[in-house]
Amino acid sequence: MRSPSTTFDKAKLNWFLVSGSHWLFLLLICGTFGAFGVVHSQNEEKPTWVDWQNYTIGATGIGIPDTSLPPPVQKEYVLEKARETAAELLLGSVEDLYLTSNMTVQDTLAADSLLASRVKKLTQKAREVDIRYMSDLSVEVDIQLPLTGELAKLLLPPTGGGKAVAIDTLHCPLCGHPWPLDKPFPKYLFSLPTFGGQQYTGLIVDAQGLGVRPALAPKIMGDEGEQVYGVGFIDRGAAVSQGIVKYSKDLQQARTDSRIGQNPLVVKALMVIGERKTDLTISNAAAMILHHTENNLNFLRQGKVIVVLDND
């Protein structure tokens, strides 16, 4: 994790001791996002945030006046310091993101200096969304960067190559396991291949209560260990343009999201897995339903997947 600069240390001291409006501003940000059910996380140690529903990351930099400078250059100096601090904080926040279940972005950048340089340049070009000139002559600058687009191109692992779950016998439509050969299949049940023939438009995985954490490249696994969805199944263009999954904190809101269409398959996650609790397992039955038709595989390729997190 990156250490804050001396500039930020001074800004942070000023933040606590001089201007209570700074804290009020950040609290208003959190309250606004929370009111609309956006998956928003706030760093309590540094003024940074991640909006996982809209796939953006941001930071607030503070510039502190230098009384040794003449007034004519003071305003530009403070503004530039705020911009520098914001860019530094944003880079640190990007590095702290979970990339996969066992890697952060920082882990990836540490192994590739050229990639690290490109990511740093990208954060330095982040869009300014607000500048505030405070009564104590300090300046606050908010910057924001999409987690999709150029950043996703740099950070996401290769996509494609996933293998569909094979279905070659009758399976129980409840648990998804093969039906015993020595037992007749009940007439009042649908076999999994028949049940799985329904045409869905997207997937919602209800992971509420499991403590799953957002990541740039999460995986959804079957309960027998097969990868059902993740970088192996989504097309590169879809992954870069919209993210591998969309996160939500409201199941009903997720049902009406245009990303997953009018008839999504809704499944309950069984457990969260992985070192950083970013990956999920679903039942084998749900996995085979998803992989049984080309239509369902196609919406997976298009990234029409929403994961519903704890609403806390």
User: Are residue 21 and residue 105 in the same domain, yes or no?
Assistant: yes
Residue-level pLDDT at 7 = 38
225 close to 289: Cβ distance less than 8 angstroms: no
User: Are residue 17 and residue 151 in the same domain, yes or no?
Assistant: yes
| Inside any domain, residue 25 | yes
Range picked from 24-33, 81-90, 132-141 for highest mean pLDDT: 81-90
Single pTM value for the model: 0.77
Pick the more confident residue, 26 or 192: 192
Q: How far apart are CA 82 and CA 133, in angstroms?
A: 11
User: Are residue 284 and residue 200 in the same domain, yes or no?
Assistant: yes
Task: Dump pLDDT digits (tens) for 208-243.
Answer: 999 999 999 999 998 888 899 999 999 999 999 999
Residue-level pLDDT at 38 = 47
Our measurement of the distance from residue 194's CA atom to the centroid of its chain's CA atoms, rounded to an integer in Å, reads 34
User: Are residue 205 and residue 103 in the same domain, yes or no?
Assistant: no
Pick the more confident residue, 180 or 233: 233
User: Mean of the pLDDT values across residues 188-198?
Assistant: 54
User: Are residue 15 and residue 151 in the same domain, yes or no?
Assistant: yes
User: Are residue 82 and residue 214 in the same domain, yes or no?
Assistant: no
For the chain, state the CA radius of gyration.
23
| Inside any domain, residue 206 | yes
Phi and psi torsions of 53, nearest 5°: -75, -40
User: Are residue 129 and residue 213 in the same domain, yes or no?
Assistant: no
| Inside any domain, residue 104 | yes
Mean pLDDT of the chain: 82
Residue 27 has pLDDT above 50, yes or no: no
Residue-level pLDDT at 57 = 97
| Inside any domain, residue 124 | yes
| Inside any domain, residue 211 | yes
- How many domains does the chain divide into? 2
| Inside any domain, residue 177 | no
CA distances (Å), origin 270, targets 55, 96, 185, 282: 25, 27, 26, 5
User: Are residue 149 and residue 196 in the same domain, yes or no?
Assistant: no
CA distances (Å), origin 109, targets 36, 128, 219: 34, 25, 21
Smallest CA-to-CA distance from 174 within 72, 78, 267, 238 is with: 267
| Inside any domain, residue 172 | no
Close Cβ partners of 311 (under 8 Å, ≥ 6 residues apart): 37, 208, 249, 250
Phi and psi torsions of 285, nearest 5°: -60, -45
User: Are residue 22 and residue 95 in the same domain, yes or no?
Assistant: yes
User: Are residue 200 and residue 126 in the same domain, yes or no?
Assistant: no
Is residue 180 very low, low, confident or very high in pLDDT (cuts 50, 70, 90)? confident
- Residue 194, number of CB atoms within 10 A of its CB: 12
User: Are residue 22 and residue 113 in the same domain, yes or no?
Assistant: yes
Q: How far apart are CA 287 and CA 268, in angstroms?
A: 12
User: Are residue 215 and residue 132 in the same domain, yes or no?
Assistant: no
| Inside any domain, residue 169 | no
Range of the domain at 49: 6-155
* Residue that terminates a domain, selected from 134, 155, 176: 155
Q: What is the dihedral of CA 114, 115, 120, 124, to 10 degrees?
A: 100
* Residue that terminates a domain, selected from 155, 179, 202: 155
